[in-house]
Amino acid sequence: MNWYFAVIRKYAQFQGRARRKEFWFFTLINAFISMACNLVDTTLHLPTLMEGYGVLAALYAAFAFIPTVAVTVRRLHDQNRTGWWALIMLVPIVGILVLLYFMVQDSTKGNNRFGSNPKQNDHSTLSV
């Protein structure tokens, strides 16, 4: 859960680099929270804003959008790629697969144009 809050604290920080661990733990916890919001919306029969999105799920999606984009950009920076590569997800099917491939790749060793390697600088004790 600490990894999730670490991304939230960097709400709109697009500079720097993000480790795989930071990206994937945020993504996992974000998915669980989204599912919980959908479950609450369905259980309480809350009104839907769009097809399939209840009020609570839509509000959470709006809240999580910027941190999700920011951590994706920082994850791309970790591999010495520009954040504009995130737009590849707009290409149907292939774009999402390419972005998924980028997200599972390891970091660039050492420093790159976006900063120092967070694996080498992470002396914190963030735990799951």
Distance CA 126, CA 31 (A): 20
pLDDT, residue 110, reads: 87
For the cut 60, the answer to whether the pLDDT of residue 125 exceeds it is no
Full 3-state SS string of the chain: CHHHHHHHHCCCCCCCCCCHHHHHHHHHHHHHHHHHHHHHHHHCCCCEEECCEEHHHHHHHHHHHHHHHHHHHHHHHHCCCCHHHHHHHHCCCHHHHHHHHHHHCCCCCCCECCECCHHHHCCCCCCC
Average pLDDT score over residue span 78-105: 95
For the cut 70, the answer to whether the pLDDT of residue 128 exceeds it is no
**Per-residue pLDDT tens over the stretch 24-47:** 999 999 999 999 999 998 898 888
Sequence letter at residue 119: K
Between residues 50 and 110, the one the model is more confident about = 110
Q: Where are the domains of the chain?
A: 2-113
Residues 6+ apart with CB under 8 A from 111: 117
Number of neighbouring beta carbons within 10 Å of residue 78: 27
pLDDT, residue 54, reads: 86
